[in-house]
A and B are shown apart, each in its own frame.
Chain A
Amino acid sequence: MLETLQAVWGSIPELLQIVLKIVVIVVPIMLSVAYLTLAERKVIGYIQVRIGPNRVGPRGLLQPIADGLKLVLKEIIVPTNANRFLFILGPIVALAPALAAWAVIPFDETLVLANVDAGLLYILAMTSLGVYGIIIAGWASNSKYAFLGALRSAAQVVSYEIAMGFALVGVLIAAGSLNLREIVLAQQGSFLHWYWLPLLPLFLVYFISGVAETNRAPFDVAEGESEIVAGFHVEYSGMTFGLFFLAEYANMILVSALVAIMFLGGWLSPFEGIPVLGEALAWVPSIFWLLAKISVFLFLFLWFRATFPRYRYDQIMRLGWKIFIPITIVWLLVVGAAVLAQIGPWFD
C-alpha cells in the first residue's frame, strides 16, 4: 500500500508535487481560519457571559461555513473614482504574504515545505509585506476614513517591525542559525531549555509586537470603528472584505506559530526530560505539541480582545519606540554576553 502510494507520488511531475504540498498546507490553514472566527465569537461570548452563535448546525458549528457562503455571494462594490485595479489588488496583497510565510514553517522534524537556510529572514521579509495590502486598499478606496486607517496601520506596522526584528536577532544569536528547524533543535532538552526563559523579555516583546503587527485589539486603531468607522476596509464588501478578514486571522495563526517555534520549542514535547511523564507521553505525535502551543497563543489573542480597551495612538507609538526597542537592544547585549560566557543549560 505505502509503496504503491510512493510510486504514484513519484510519477507526478515535480511542479504538480509542489502545488499539492502547498494545497496540503493551505487548506488546513484556511479551515483553521474559518473555525478561529467561530472560536473567537464563542470565547468572547463566554467571557462576556453570552452563549455566542449556536443556531447554524449542531452547537453552531456550521456558522463559519454560512458566513463564508454569505461573503462569497455578496456583491463587490467598487466606489466611484476608486482605482479599480488597485482596489481589487489590495486584499490579495494582504493575504498572499500571510500564506507565503508558511512555506518555511517546520511542523515536525522533517515536515517542512522548504527547509531554507535563511528561514528567519524570509519570515521577517514576508510579514513586512502584508502592510502593502492595507496601504493600497486605503489609498485606492478614495475615502478619507480608509486613508486614515491605512496611514495609522502603516506607521504602526513599521514601528513594531523594528522591535520584532530585534527580538528575532536575539533568537538568532541564541540558536546560531537562521534556519527555523535548527532553532527548534537547539532548544532540545526540557521545557527549561526552551528560549522563553533566557529570552523572556524578547519573548514578551515579540508576542506583543505580533499582536500590534496583526492590527488586533488592543492595537486595532487601523480599524478603530469608534473613530474611523472600519478603517482601511470601510469601502470593501463581499469577498474582497472576506480576504482582509482571512489575512488578519491567517496572520494571527502565523504569529502564534512563530512564537511557538522560536520561544517554546516548536514541536518538542513539554514533558521531555521529565522522568516518568516524558516516556509515558513519547507516543504523542510531535505535531500535536506544536498545534497545542499555537492554540494557546490564539486563545491569548482572543482573551486580549475581550479584556483590554483600545490603546491611544500616541501611546502605541510610545510603547513601540521608547519601551520595546530599548528593551530588545539591552537584552541583545545580555544574550550576546551569555552566549560568549556559555551559560548553561542553553548556551553550553
Chain B
Amino acid sequence: MEQIIFYVFAAILVASSILVITVRNPVHAVLFLVLAFFTSAAVWLLLEVEFLAITLVLVYVGAVMVLFLFVVMMLDINIAVLREGFIRYLPLGIGVALIVVIEMAVAVGPKYFGLEHFAEPVRHMADYSNTKELGRILYTVYVYPFEIAAAILLVAIIAAIALTLRRRPQTKYQNVTEQVMTRRDDRLRIIKMEAEKKEG
C-alpha cells in the first residue's frame, strides 16, 4: 500500500517537475511548480518527517509561491520573442547543463550518498514527535549555524527593504500620522442656523 502511494506521488512529482520547464505559459509553469512542492511534501510525509513536510507546504506553497505567482501573473511575456534565441544559445545551454550534471554527480554521487552509507530508517511509534526532536537538535548541536543563518536572512531582509526606500520627487505619499490624528473638528463645522421665514 505504502509503495503504491509512493509511486503515485513520485510519478506526479516527476511529471509536474518536467512540465514546469516545458509548458509555454509561465503561469502554468508556476502552478506546476506548486504541484511539485505539494507532492514532494506528500513524499516526505511517507518518510515520517511531518514537520518538514508541513513546513514545506506552509512556507513554499503558502507564501513564497503565492508571491511568485503574483509577480508572474503581472508579467506580459511574449512567448514568441522568448523562443527566438533558442537554437543560438543551445550549445552554451548544453555546456552549462553538462557541467552542472557532472558537479552534481561528484557531490551527491554514490560515493557519499550511496545506500550502503546509511542504515535503514527506524520506524517510530505514533506518539513519536518529529517536531520535538528537530527542535532539540537545532537548538543544541546546531545552534550556532542556525543563529548565523538567521542573522544572514535578517541582513537580506533589511537590504531588500532599504532598496524600496529611494524617493522619487514626483511620487505622492499618504501622511498616515496626519490621517490618524485627524479629529472631527478639523473637517466638520457645525453651525446653527435660524429658520428662515418665507416671504409672502
CA distance A230 to B58 in the complex (A): 28
Q: Which residues of B contact A (CB under 8 A)?
A: 27, 31, 34, 50-51, 54-55, 57-58, 61-63, 66-67, 69-70, 73-74, 127, 129-131, 174, 176
CA distance A178 to B134 in the complex (A): 14
Distance in angstroms from A176 CB to nearest chain B CB is 10
CA distance A154 to B34 in the complex (A): 15
Assuming the contacts A158-B66, A158-B67, asked whether A118 and B51 have C-beta atoms less than 8 A apart, the reply is yes
0/1 string, A93-133, CB within 8 A of B gives 1: 00000000000000000000000111001101100110110
Q: Is the CB of B50 within 8 A of A118?
A: yes
Q: Is the CB of B174 within 8 A of A314?
A: yes
- Within 8 Å of chain B (Cβ to Cβ): is A292? no
In the complex, residue of chain A having the shortest beta-carbon distance to the beta carbon of B129? A117
- Within 8 Å of chain B (Cβ to Cβ): is A155? yes
Chain B residues lying within 8 Å of A151, measured Cβ to Cβ, are: 70, 73-74
Chain B residues lying within 8 Å of A235, measured Cβ to Cβ, are: none
Chain A residues lying within 8 Å of B73, measured Cβ to Cβ, are: 135, 139, 147, 150-151
Chain A residues lying within 8 Å of B70, measured Cβ to Cβ, are: 135, 151, 154-155
Chain B residues lying within 8 Å of A180, measured Cβ to Cβ, are: none
How many A-B contacts are there with CB distance less than 8 Å? 65
Which label, helix, strand, loop or mixed, suits the secondary structure of the A interface?
helix
Chain A residues lying within 8 Å of B31, measured Cβ to Cβ, are: 86, 136
Q: Which residues of A contact B (CB under 8 A)?
A: 86, 116-118, 121-122, 124-125, 128-129, 131-132, 135-136, 139, 147, 150-151, 154-155, 157-158, 161, 178, 314, 318
A-B contact pairs, 16 of them (CB 8 A): A118-B130, A118-B131, A121-B55, A122-B54, A124-B58, A125-B57, A125-B61, A128-B63, A132-B34, A132-B66, A139-B73, A154-B67, A157-B66, A158-B63, A158-B66, A161-B62
Chain A residues lying within 8 Å of B66, measured Cβ to Cβ, are: 128, 131-132, 135, 154, 157-158
Distance in angstroms from B71 CB to nearest chain A CB is 10
Assuming the contacts A158-B67, A161-B63, A318-B176, asked whether A128 and B58 have C-beta atoms less than 8 A apart, the reply is yes
| Other-chain residue from A86, A125, A136, A314 in contact with B62 (beta carbon distance below 8 A) | A125
In the complex, residue of chain B having the shortest beta-carbon distance to the beta carbon of A179? B129
CA distance A125 to B73 in the complex (A): 23
Query: Which 5 A-B pairs give the minimum distances between C-beta atoms?
Result: A128-B62, A125-B58, A125-B57, A121-B54, A125-B54
In the complex, residue of chain B having the shortest beta-carbon distance to the beta carbon of A127? B62
Chain A residues lying within 8 Å of B54, measured Cβ to Cβ, are: 118, 121-122, 125
CA distance A121 to B130 in the complex (A): 13
Chain B residues lying within 8 Å of A117, measured Cβ to Cβ, are: 50, 127, 129-131
Given A121-B58, A131-B66: 18 more A-B contacts, CB < 8 Å? A86-B31, A117-B130, A118-B51, A118-B54, A118-B131, A121-B131, A124-B62, A125-B62, A131-B62, A132-B69, A135-B73, A139-B73, A147-B73, A150-B73, A151-B73, A158-B66, A161-B62, A161-B63
CA distance A118 to B50 in the complex (A): 7
| Other-chain residue from A116, A128, A155, A161 in contact with B50 (beta carbon distance below 8 A) | A116
Distance in angstroms from B25 CB to nearest chain A CB is 8
Distance in angstroms from A295 CB to nearest chain B CB is 29
CA distance A117 to B69 in the complex (A): 31
CA distance A52 to B67 in the complex (A): 41
Chain A residues lying within 8 Å of B127, measured Cβ to Cβ, are: 117
Distance in angstroms from A134 CB to nearest chain B CB is 10
Q: Is the CB of B174 within 8 A of A121?
A: no
CA distance A208 to B63 in the complex (A): 20
Chain A residues lying within 8 Å of B130, measured Cβ to Cβ, are: 117-118
In the complex, residue of chain A having the shortest beta-carbon distance to the beta carbon of B72? A139
